[in-house]
Amino acid sequence: DTAVSQTPKYLVTQMGNDKSIKCEQNLGHDTMYWYKQDSKKFLKIMFSYNNKELIINETVPNRFSPKSPDKAHLNLHINSLELGDSAVYFCASRGGTVNTEAFFGQGTRLTVV
Amino acid sequence: AQSVAQPEDQVNVAEGNPLTVKCTYSVSGNPYLFWYVQYPNRGLQFLLKYITGDNLVKGSYGFEAEFNKSQTSFHLKKPSALVSDSALYFCAVRDGNTGFQKLVFGTGTRLLVSP
């Protein structure tokens, strides 16, 4: 059973399009994250939700909008895609106590052409 | 704000030799420290963590890490490297006192173990 699953795994799209990436976790965790990994492999936190509430919102263009319909899901919608949005996007989840580790999905490789 | 530094882009070691991947951190409160490994085209896998207690932490696949508060370091170690250990390793920190939800990663160190 996949603990944190993302769909799609690969996404190729044209500039200006709108796309969504879905994430689901079956671990019963309260907190979920979106991270962006660029071409140099740098990992940068984008958003975090705790029990469907946004708690971290880093300096991310407002073309990126996370949505958490319930605490098991955290989707990422991107409007007006740009070339610079090409990256691997990782979803992660974590249990409620402060000393727990995060579990990561397999990533979604987004390529904007 | 918390931060992590991994000073080496790449570490090369021969199979069977000990390996060390360096990490230093900066937090205002108590540090919660983590190591993750990433294999090509895969997500991040958790290796080990330091929360409190014994400074030497043991984790998956024979890896261990030593927490050093005075040097603000959390170096990853393994006594005998395997070719299959070749991967990208990330150190991460969370501030236990403030911003405890935010997990900040270092820039990663590529480990290359030669046969």
Closest CB to A56: pick one of B46, B102, B105: B102
Condensed to tens digits (0 to 9), the pLDDT of residues A56-105 reads 888 789 999 999 999 899 999 999 999 999 999 999 999 877 678 999 99
Q: Other C-beta atoms within 10 Å of A69: how many?
A: 9
- At B96 the pLDDT is 74
Chain A residue numbers with beta carbons less than 8 Å from the beta carbon of B46 are 101-103
Question: Nearest C-alpha of chain A: how many angstroms from B15?
Answer: 25
- At A72 the pLDDT is 94
Please answer yes or no on whether B104 and A45 come within 8 Å at the CB atom: yes
Task: Please give the residue that has the higher pLDDT: either A108 or A55.
Answer: A108
Averaged pLDDT for residues A42-66: 90
pLDDT at A1 over 80: no
Q: Which residues of A touch B (CB under 8 A)?
A: 4, 31, 33, 35, 40-45, 48, 50, 55-56, 90, 92, 94, 98-99, 101-107
Instruction: Report the C-alpha gap between A43 and B108 in whole angstroms.
Output: 9
Closest CB to A90: pick one of B44, B88, B108: B44
- At A95 the pLDDT is 87
- At B53 the pLDDT is 86
pLDDT at B81 over 90: yes
Condensed to tens digits (0 to 9), the pLDDT of residues B23-78 reads 999 998 889 999 999 998 888 999 999 998 899 999 999 999 999 999 999 999 99
pLDDT at B3 over 80: yes
Mean pLDDT, chain B, rounded, equals 93
Long-range contacts of A38-47 (CB under 8 A, 24+ apart): A38/A87, A39/A86, A39/A87, A40/B107, A41/B38, A41/B88, A41/B107, A41/B108, A42/B105, A42/B107, A42/B108, A43/A90, A43/B44, A43/B90, A43/B105, A43/B108, A44/B105, A45/B102, A45/B103, A45/B104, A46/A76, A47/A74, A47/A76
Q: Which residues of B touch A (CB under 8 A)?
A: 32, 34, 36, 38, 41-46, 49, 51-52, 88, 90, 94, 96, 100-105, 107-108
pLDDT at B98 over 80: no
